[in-house]
Amino acid sequence: MKRRRMEFIFLFVLMLSVYIVLFGSFSSNLKLFSIGLYVLIILITMYSLMLEYRSSHHTLLWMYVLLFIPVFGYMFYLYSGQLYLKGYLFRTKRHRNREEWKKLVNQATSPDLSFLNDHQRAFSTFASNASQTAFSTNSNTYVLKNGKETFSEIIKKLKEAKQFIHIEYYIFRSDRLGKEIIHILMEKAKEGVEVLFIFDAAGSFSLAKSDIKDMISAGVKVQPFSPLKSGFFNQKFNFRNHRKIIVIDGEIGFVGGLNVGEEYLGRNKKIGFWRDTHLEVKGEAVYTLHTVFLMDWEYVSGEQVLNERAKMMQTHKPGDGAVQIVASGPDTQQGIMSDFYYSLISCATKSIWIATPYFVPDEAIRAAMKSAAQKGVQVRLMIPEINDGFLTQYASRSYFNELLECNVEIYLYKKGFLHQKVIIVDHDMATIGTANMDKRSFHLNFEVNVFLLGTQSINELVEDYEGDILESEKVEIDTYRKRGFVVKSKEAFSRLFSDVL
């Protein structure tokens, strides 16, 4: 809190100094003093930036912004969200989460992973050491393709809920689909089922206040994540909860790429067909997914609910393969999802198939993809032909040349908007979740992914990916190099914003 107040004091002093020097009729001594004060504040900020131990080019970039863009450079730095990636903003939540993950690990029994092959075992070793969540061999996963299949299953299971429904979404709209689900939540709450509902305040901006009031009146507990009205003054507005989680009765969980809205059913004429993938989880892994939700609920509500929950379910029913739930965001280890993606890609021996709507990878991910392709591993990247954002579309394409030169296959999905976030490695390892392959998902957003080793659901993902290839156009390097000056300029301009896309 003290640091936050100091930053606002610094911003006020910078603005006052500029006014005195450029616009006020003040003495020369006062103007010189104001210039000195301005320089001192910028130097202090630059020194604090150096102490964050970022990469050298990021540090230098922000230094240039602070030096050459008076006042507005400091304001942009202050509110970009960069300042607190390793700071105090989510410190309490982060410490609380770590303690809960430790309890979770202590409760869990070590799974028998002897059935894994060498590269699966290599990834599982990394995953177990890098995160505080264990693999489960007592879980089952089921792939849900596109909105119709996903929401049919979700609605069916919501109606069957007996004890509780815990639901969390980045985007939840008050359209026909949203109102149908809201009605079910209200009916269940009236029946005595506990319903906890988290929505991201920015992503769900179109969720009607009247719907929120109706839910609360019916007994649904509703909480926004990072309300915009207070977020501006503590920088939380730039850290969004991108998770999509439903947990029903502690037995069934849903997670994946689909938010709640008519467009996710392909009913938005402007967007057209919507290609996405979701996952239904049963068994032990649901407990971990539920933990992610409950830690978010404690944060937004102030209630202590984790300690009231029963101990980890002790199911001895064998599952399918190995399943791990991994949460990432400012409340976890910095950049952990990027590390998981890098490790998964690096373990490949035959193939790497990636599908993502937003492709703005960091240097490590690009290096892993290029290195794998140059070693003879088949590397395929699938992104939508037309994206929903100008900057994202052209920033993604700015990486094509270096990837194509290293024999990475790139496909543009043409049937509609591709929104699934899937990576398949060697047809026996995969991840599905909410995290895109971009720096916002890696460093700013709250995300959650499911990692799969040797499950039957991977076969479904492989089959679906092969079907998506048929709906895509392969990018040929010779054709790509013939793109015009205007397109190249768009790519170069958009790439400048890679760190915040």
> Across residues 178-191, what is the average pLDDT?
98
Task: Provide mean pLDDT across the span 32-49.
Answer: 89
Average pLDDT, the chain: 88
Of 47-61, 155-169, 411-425, give the lowest mean pLDDT range. Answer: 47-61
Confidence of residue 74 (pLDDT cuts 50, 70, 90): confident
pLDDT, position 234: 52
Give the three-state DSSP class for 277: strand
Q: Which residues is 425 bridged to in the sheet?
A: 352, 429
Q: What are phi and psi of 430, to 5 degrees?
A: -160, 165
Q: Is 25 left (phi over 0), alpha (psi -120 to 50) or beta?
A: beta
Q: Which of 179, 183, 249, 415 is catalytic?
A: 249
pLDDT in tens, 194-251: 999 999 999 999 999 999 999 999 999 999 998 876 544 455 667 889 999 999 999 9
pLDDT above 60 (res 97): yes
Is 428 among the catalytic positions? no
Distance CA 119, CA 271 (A): 39
Residue type, 352: I
Domains of the chain: 2-79 (no CATH), 91-108+140-317 (3.30.870.10), 336-500 (3.30.870.10)
Mean pLDDT, rounded, for 29-44: 91
Would residue 427 show up in a list of annotated catalytic residues for this protein? no
Is residue 443 flagged as an active site residue?
A: no
Q: Which of 93, 188, 282, 421 is catalytic?
A: 421
pLDDT category of residue 7 using cuts at 50, 70 and 90: confident
And the tokens for 461?
Answer: 């993902």
Confidence band (pLDDT; 50, 70, 90) for 55? Answer: low
For residue 81, name the pLDDT band (cuts at 50, 70, 90): very low
Q: Is there a contact between 166 and 190 (Cβ–Cβ < 8 Å)?
A: no
- Residue 393's SS3 state is helix
Residue 83 pLDDT level (bands cut at 50, 70, 90): very low
Highest mean pLDDT among 44-58, 84-98, 323-337: 323-337
Give the active site residue among 119, 188, 236, 242: 242
pLDDT score, position 84: 47
Active-site position among 211, 276, 331, 426: 426
Identify the active-site residue in 419, 439, 443, 490.
419
Tell me if residue 468 is catalytic.
Answer: no
Give this prediction's pTM.
0.86
Asked about 58 being catalytic, the answer comes back as no
426 included as an active-site residue = yes
Strands (E) in 391-500, as ranges, are 409-413, 417-418, 422-425, 429-433, 437-438, 447-453, 472-474
pLDDT tens, position by position, 250-270: 999 999 999 999 999 999 988
Q: Nearest 5°: phi and psi at 70?
A: -55, 135
One DSSP character per residue, 353-369 reads EEE-S-EE--HHHHHHH
| Structure confidence at residue 310 (pLDDT) | 59
pLDDT: which is higher, 11 or 411: 411
Rounded mean pLDDT, 81-101: 58
Query: Catalytic pick from 157, 188, 244, 490?
Result: 244
Diameter of the chain measured on Cα atoms: 81
pLDDT of residue 163: 95
Q: Which residue has the higher pLDDT, 324 or 6?
A: 324
